[in-house]
Chains A and B, each alone.
Chain A
Amino acid sequence: EAGVTQFPSHSVIEKGQTVTLRCDPISGHDNLYWYRRVMGKEIKFLLHFVKESKQDESGMPNNRFLAERTGGTYSTLKVQPAELEDSGVYFCASSPAGLSHPEQYFGPGTRLTVT
């Protein structure tokens, strides 16, 4: 079974540009999550999809971030326009439906550098 994949693995953009990150969850996983780790700090929750619906977006830092999960399969996270403080590693995770299996399966992350 393929794991969670993320693309690109690394992105370097200039301040003010737009970047779109992609996540492909494990097939059949209804839950999809985005997290971010900035400057070696703790990994912070951004948002949670159940299928194509946003269940919880309380961690989204501001309206420059837009996440979508059309069709309930892969998800994209767009940052527009990017700022220096957006640099960090963006992780995607997925899990099966329900809370009986609380563990999440993480992708390798996308390292975003804004210069």
Chain B
Amino acid sequence: GNSVTQMEGPVTLSEEAFLTINCTYTATGYPSLFWYVQYPGEGLQLLLKATKADDKGSNKGFEATYRKETTSFHLEKGSVQVSDSAVYFCALTASGTYKYIFGTGTRLKVLA
């Protein structure tokens, strides 16, 4: 079946450090891929998405590239800020379907 595997957290970084959160997936066909972020006390917000292979999603300095050959969608940011502290979720929707399949979430803590 379809699944998403996300790196375990928590991840603790100093401000301005480079961030990578790994996400790999298993899915038939060509899924759409997403990163959502949940800031403390808030709901899930769409951070970025990619709907076909080699697409790069980007937003707020975050980037992720849809890699079909490695079935990956790793989240990166060149220089994190304290305000990036949150839980990050990788998710997919399989071709022709609506429901999301989520990873377990990765908590990021950025220290000043």
Contacts and interface: CB of A to CB of B under 8 A. Distances in A.
Asked if A and B are interacting partners, one says: yes
A56 B99 contact: yes
Nearest to B101: A45
A109 to B, nearest CB: 6
A51 interface: no
A106 B43 CA distance: 6
A106 B98 contact: no
A33 B99 CA distance: 8
Interface size class of B (residues with CB under 8 A): 20 to 34
B85 interface: no
Interface residues of A, number: 28
Given A35-B100, A43-B100, A102 B51 contact: yes
Given A42-B104, A43-B89, A45-B101, A99 B96 contact: yes
Contacts of B99: 33, 45, 48, 56, 59
Contacts of B100: 33, 35, 43, 45, 93, 104
Contacts of A48: 98-99
Given A33-B99, A45-B99, A102 B93 contact: yes
Contact of A44 (B46, B98, B102, B105): B102
B8 to A, nearest CB: 11
B77 interface: no
Nearest to A105: B46
B45 interface: yes
Interface in A37-92: 37, 40-45, 48, 55-56, 59, 91
Contacts of B4: 42
A105 to B, nearest CB: 7
Interface of B: 4, 32, 34, 36, 42-46, 49, 51, 89, 91, 93, 96, 98-105
Interface of A: 3-4, 31, 33, 35, 37, 40-45, 48, 55-56, 59, 91, 93, 95, 99, 102-109
